[in-house]
Amino acid sequence: MSNRNLSIGRSFWLQTSYLRFQTMRDLEVRTEPEPFLTASSHRGHVPLSRETVRELGTVEPLHQLRQGTHLAPLVKLTTLLHNALGLVRYEYGSVRPFHRGAPSARCLYSTELYVIPADSDWLGEEGIYRYDPLMHALERIDLHTNWDVLENALGRSLAGAEGVLVVGADFWRIARLYADFAYNIASLEAGHVIAQLNMIATRLGYTPTVHEQFLDQDLMELLGMNEDVKTPLAVIVLWPQATAGESPKRELVRERKLIDMASVSTRFEREMNQCADLQQMMKASRLTSRVELELPEIDSSGVTEELVHTSASCVELVQRSTKSRHPDLLEALKSRNSANDRIGLNAVGRPLPFAELSGLLCELAANPEAIELAQEVGLYLAAHRVEGLQSGIYRCDLSVPALCTLTVQEDVGRAMERASVVDGKFINFRSIPLSFYFAVDLERTLQKYGNRGYQILLMKVGRLAQSLCLLAAARGWFARPLKSYRDAEAEEMLGIAQSTQIVAYQLVMGESDTPYLEFDMGL
């Protein structure tokens, strides 16, 4: 199925809005997988060290280059995996007691991490592994690294790299509740995890490079993935800082072997076949030839360039935090909160000071990764109860940084409420101080990447959102990701209804004076 049959990507977006998802809860089979990680055959566990790097610096600045030459390779790997996808916090008596560094819809976590070391330095042996967050161990998938297959999939030499992480999605973990809509959520979730991996890796002495374009069949063979149930989403190459650089293209063309279906798990195939639209989109996004790795020359610079707003004014942001504190990154990871118990019917959120919000956005703008992502992801602010800032809709210009006024309105909370499909007993939008909205140009992205652009774009949105989640946690705020809004109303509120932009994600932030009950909230 061609990645360039763009009608599939366009149709999927239109057919899998949240409102559409609400009419799809009719799956006949909803088999529940194991908690934390779907079980599959493997060649035994390799336990990881319980010793982790305890000092990774403060949350701010987000981007910190540190030397890791003094750290043992296994300790670095352990730290990276645990803080990206491991269990970092347990809340006794909570609806969802186990928490990780990145959020997931209903804590279902479709993201999987595969580890491929360049040699035996990391683990004392070569091979291909899958991370088990509950056991904090690696499942051995293969005894051999097959580095040439990996290089062929990327189309680049990996000489000098210390190892590779593959971020994959096990869709049924989410699709059993969200059906075809799970493709959206899983891609966003993977973006959150990628951002986390990048941040931790740079503080461990690595220079990570994220690859979203690769030959999927090679990777699925390598990792033993069932093509109807799972898919690889991104490849992160970990380079030592001293040797990092653009890797040369590799000319190797490996003679492809067919997947030995007898060795690949067929679990949840029948269940996933109920999600025909998801499967079609997943397969239409896969790259099958080296030619598809070469992107066409299409201008993708700055979504804000196409959106010409007549702004009343722009408020330049300055770092003027009213609080003098430098929260530890690991503590922020553990305390990151999606606020199930803080944004309900009776919750009364206190207003947030503009000085703190300004500081948050300045820190985001100081992160090179955020600036790069903002070239393709537009960031908007719906400010409702921010002390020192008029209630209204703003466009966040991270290049200055500044907030550009789009509209000033008295009750933005009411507008957010109208745009949301979440029942008021779960989120009291009249009390919410602010919400960020992420807008993207889907058509331009599809033209550039083909159908694969759909998942690439959502991962980029998730990466930007994760930075905001950590900056919120550093200030003691909750950050609640949402995909449950009415697209047309949200775009009208932001003033982009007549543009080529669409809303891809929402992130609600605030504090709460009166925590309410815990609810079983969806994304």
Structural domain includes residue 36 = no
| Claim to verify: residue 49 and residue 108 sit in the same structural domain | yes
Mean pLDDT over each residue of the chain, to the nearest integer = 87
Structural domain includes residue 11 = yes
| Claim to verify: residue 154 and residue 112 sit in the same structural domain | yes
Percent of the chain clearing pLDDT 70 (strictly above): 87
| Claim to verify: residue 149 and residue 275 sit in the same structural domain | yes
- Number of structural domains in the chain: 2
Structural domain includes residue 396 = yes
Structural domain includes residue 308 = no
| Claim to verify: residue 23 and residue 90 sit in the same structural domain | yes
Using alpha carbons, list the distances in angstroms from residue 472 to 31, 55, 56, 336, 358: 36, 20, 18, 8, 12
| Claim to verify: residue 322 and residue 213 sit in the same structural domain | no
Q: Please give the residue range of the domain that contains residue 23.
A: 2-28+45-242+265-294
Task: Please compute the mean of the pLDDT values over residues 180-186 and round it to a whole number.
Answer: 95
| Claim to verify: residue 341 and residue 287 sit in the same structural domain | no
Residues shown for the chain: 523
| Claim to verify: residue 120 and residue 234 sit in the same structural domain | yes
CA distance 298 to 331: 42
Using alpha carbons, list the distances in angstroms from residue 444 to 9, 301, 453: 12, 10, 9
Q: Are 437 and 483 in contact (CB under 8 A)?
A: no
Tokens of 461: 């949105």
| Claim to verify: residue 237 and residue 339 sit in the same structural domain | no
CATH number for the domain harbouring residue 372: 3.40.109.10
| Claim to verify: residue 445 and residue 505 sit in the same structural domain | yes
Q: By mean pLDDT, which of 7-11, 238-242, 305-309 is the weakest?
A: 305-309
Structural domain includes residue 142 = yes
Q: Quick one: pLDDT at residue 347?
A: 62
246: pLDDT strictly greater than 70: no
338: pLDDT strictly greater than 90: no
Summarize pLDDT for 458-478 with one digit per residue, the tens: 999 999 999 999 999 999 999
Summarize pLDDT for 395-453 with one digit per residue, the tens: 999 999 999 999 998 889 999 999 999 877 778 888 889 999 999 999 999 999 999 99
Q: Quick one: pLDDT at residue 113?
A: 98
Structural domain includes residue 309 = no
| Claim to verify: residue 163 and residue 277 sit in the same structural domain | yes
Summarize pLDDT for 84-95 with one digit per residue, the tens: 999 988 877 777
Q: By mean pLDDT, which of 214-223, 301-310, 337-346, 508-517 is the weakest?
A: 301-310
| Claim to verify: residue 115 and residue 183 sit in the same structural domain | yes
Q: How many CA atoms lie within 13 A of 306 on its CB side?
A: 20
CA distance 271 to 344: 34
323: pLDDT strictly greater than 50: yes
Higher per-residue confidence, 521 vs 489: 489
Structural domain includes residue 98 = yes
| Claim to verify: residue 273 and residue 337 sit in the same structural domain | no
Summarize pLDDT for 264-274 with one digit per residue, the tens: 778 899 999 99
**Which residue in the block uniquely carries the two structure tokens 């947030």?**
352
In sequence order, the β-bridge partners of residue 138 are: 46, 131
Structural domain includes residue 305 = no
The pairing of strands 377-383 and 314-316 is unpaired
- Residue 152 burial by Cβ neighbours in a 10 Å radius (0-12, 13-18, 19+): buried
